[in-house]
Chain A
Amino acid sequence: MSDEAVRMTTNGASRSFSPAPLDRSRGLGDFVPAPDEDVLVCRCEEVTKGDIRRAVHDGMYTMTEVRRYLRVGMGLCQGQSCTKLVRRIMAAELGVSPAALDAETSRAPMRPVEMRVLGNEEAAGGADAR
């Protein structure tokens, strides 16, 4: 993915695709437990709000890092449900705007698919029907 500045959109762009990395030398203060710690955020991978907040305090400052650290957004729905929530929780914990966080990477397969199906490529002759 190129880092070049995004062209202005016709409808008005508000954030370029790759914001500047956050300053990691900045302290976040102590982790303070909150009453809604146990609320599930990513239900596919069963990750709670507290898990995400703690991950930030463990040094996970980007969406990519927190995904790899907790598997948040990497389950059945591929983050379609929780990505906005995760972004909001991380931004609040880091004290930045949600737009300051990196965009998640989109990868194939876009839908959950069994390996036996992914490997079962239709024979060339079978494409006649299409």
Chain B
Amino acid sequence: MNRHDLIVIGAGPSGLSAAIEAAHAGMDVVVFDENARPGGQLFKQIHKFFGSKEHHAKVRGFRIGDELLKEADAAGVRVELDSSVLGLYPDREVVVRHGDEVFHAKGDAVLVATGASENTLGFPGWTLPGVIGAGAAQTMMNLHGVRPGDRVLMLGSGNVGLVVGFQLLQAGCEVVGVVDAAPRVGGYGVHAAKLARCGVPFYLSHTIVSAEGSDHVTGVTIGEVDRSWQIVPGTERHFDVDTICVAVGLSPMSQLLDMAGCDMVDDPKRGGLVPVCDESGATSVAGIFASGDVSGIEEASSAMIEGRISGAAIADYLGYLEHEGETRRVGELEGSLDALRQGMFAPKNRGTVPERTEEGCPVSMNLLEHGFLSDDEVLAYPGVTHAKGVHAVIECSQNIPCNPCQDACRKGCISIGKNITSLPVVVGDAACVACGMCVASCPGQAIFLVDEDAGDGFATVTLPYEFLPVPSVGTRGRGLSRSGEEICDAVVESVRCVSAFDHTNLLTMRVPEDCAMRARFFRPAPADADEEAVS
């Protein structure tokens, strides 16, 4: 049996971060992961992350994964793949399966960073092929390049459902709707708005009545639910779909901690059965730590910081750090973690809906109930102003921890301030040069460049465009409203993409003047219609 200073179980964002921190302190660290590739879910994340610079904001998830792996490698962290930990026994002994063999290893400390698994929902027909988890859809699309289906219904309006729903559109699927039994959209408003302006309807206070099909999904029926979650008769609606994507939350995979004798608690706010642990992830059993989703469902950015805190705490626990250094490091990290845990969606605010933002702006109910800001509501936010010439319009209406737009603007047009959950303010007297950096840096794709009077009764709207094929200049189509309704004719005036945009294209469309503050997406005309127009 081999002995290590630290055994980390799970090579996801949290486990790797902890391993790096411990290795930097001079510890001998081994990471076991049951998968063939390290990085956990990070490599399935193709969207840009929220947060501030220290949280890798505006960097796509898989690139953060690449950076983490490089850092782990440089720190001398050994990652053992295809290695399933089967049990965690007294004195921090693990049994690991690798290939056709099992072996034992002992750690002076063990960090469990096994993450979470997806919840299921048992509606009639849920076992039919075609009913898949949102995570499975992401794996198919983003790791294997396989489109899960042609017509998809998304169940769940949390960030996972919204992010994966948008990725399904990017993969070329038709998303017939986002359904949630809750009366409000669960995830970030900006994620919902991306789907809504592409024409995806939201069905809140609805759930799946049944999935239909004999050997695979051919359709789905949804219905409205009453206050006791029962279907209201007569509200049923049918959709022809071949795929139903289920995104109804995650459960911590905490069984190893439970079997090791750690005190556990069933905490619905943290996703289920989680270990009782302190801020550093120390459980009730000496030497056993937990970090990331296994100790409470959050997201990858906080999981990475939690991992770093645990790694530093473990190094301190085993005497590898001078206490002063550890305290300072942990203090910095806790500050960084605290910044992510603020705002409307903070763990402490789960289940509550504020009436006003921190700035006193009314919180959009339309966004929460239908997935988009109404034309009137949008004017209430400090990022939305009228001005002459090209200017940024920031449709950011909820206090979420995110500030890349502020750094992106070299001209000082955008101000958020120290508190990263504050709504961005468009500074009136600063001169926008239409560089588009803010548009490309916004992880919520909520920034547009608008010229309300581009001459001849037209306006131009520049929007972030992450679909293929990228329309060429001169392409005719329709301008879509925030709710995805076709409201005007539109022509592509320019398409820009530089490396700093990281594959977010900036599409500028020319629309009638009165649509400047309403048209927020471009839909190319179908190819045959185009030909007709030419002939």
Contact = CB atoms under 8 A, between A and B. Distances in A.
B97 A130 contact: no
B235 interface: no
Nearest to B259: A106
A70 interface: no
A111 B101 contact: no
A108 B95 contact: yes
Contact of B30 (A13, A106, A117, A130): A130
B24 interface: no
Contacts of B80: 130
B502 interface: no
A117 B276 contact: no
Given A14-B268, A40-B127, A130 B263 contact: no
Interface string B221-241: 000000000000000000000
A53 interface: no
Given A80-B117, A82-B120, A110 B256 contact: yes
Interface string A6-24: 1101111111110000000
Interface stretch (B51-59, B69-77, B277-285, B489-497): B277-285
Contacts of A105: 258
A41 B124 CA distance: 10
Interface string B73-104: 00000001000111111000001010011111
A29 interface: no
A122 B97 contact: no
A49 B121 CA distance: 12
B103 A122 contact: yes
A113 B266 contact: no
Given A13-B276, A15-B265, A106-B255, A41 B122 contact: yes
Given A80-B251, A111-B84, A130 B105 contact: yes
B58 to A, nearest CB: 29
A78 B284 contact: no
Given A12-B267, A15-B266, A103-B273, A121 B124 contact: no
Given A11-B296, A106-B256, A130-B80, A84 B119 contact: yes
B50 to A, nearest CB: 21
A12 B269 contact: yes
A23 to B, nearest CB: 20
A99 interface: yes
B291 to A, nearest CB: 13
Contacts of A76: none
A27 interface: no
A130 B101 CA distance: 13
Interface in B185-224: none
B321 interface: no
A111 B100 CA distance: 14
A9 B259 contact: no
Contacts of A2: 261
B444 interface: no
Contacts of B272: 84
A121 B99 CA distance: 11
B151 to A, nearest CB: 24
A33 interface: no
Interface residues of B, number: 53
Interface in A71-130: 78, 80-85, 99, 103, 105-111, 113, 116-118, 120-122, 126-127, 130
Nearest to A38: B124
Interface in B103-122: 103-105, 117, 119-122
A111 B34 contact: yes
A113 B99 CA distance: 10
A7 B276 contact: yes
B347 interface: yes
A120 B98 CA distance: 11
A36 interface: yes
Contact of B264 (A12, A39, A103, A116): A103
Given A84-B251, A117-B101, A130-B105, A7 B263 contact: yes
Residue of B86, B126, B272 ringed by the most chain A CB atoms within 10 A:
B86
A39 B105 CA distance: 43
Contacts of B279: 10
A54 interface: no
A57 interface: no
B253 interface: yes
A107 B263 CA distance: 15
B352 interface: no
A32 interface: no
A67 interface: no
A127 B495 CA distance: 57
Residue of A38, A40, A41, A122 ringed by the most chain B CB atoms within 10 A:
A122
A117 B102 contact: yes
Contact of B270 (A11, A82, A118): A11
Contacts of A38: 124
Contacts of A126: 101, 103
Contacts of A109: 86-87, 95, 97
20 contacts: A9-B265, A10-B277, A11-B269, A15-B267, A17-B265, A17-B266, A80-B251, A81-B120, A82-B122, A85-B121, A103-B266, A106-B256, A109-B87, A109-B97, A111-B86, A116-B100, A117-B100, A121-B102, A122-B101, A130-B105
Interface of A: 1-2, 6-7, 9-17, 36, 38-41, 43, 49, 78, 80-85, 99, 103, 105-111, 113, 116-118, 120-122, 126-127, 130
Interface of B: 1-2, 30, 34, 80, 84-89, 95, 97, 100-105, 117, 119-124, 126-127, 251, 253-256, 258-259, 261, 263-270, 272-273, 276-279, 284, 296, 347
Given A11-B270, A78-B255, A85-B120, 12 more contacts: A6-B265, A10-B277, A11-B296, A16-B265, A103-B258, A107-B259, A110-B85, A111-B86, A117-B101, A130-B30, A130-B103, A130-B105
7 nearest interchain CB pairs? A108-B87, A106-B255, A106-B258, A109-B86, A122-B103, A106-B259, A15-B266
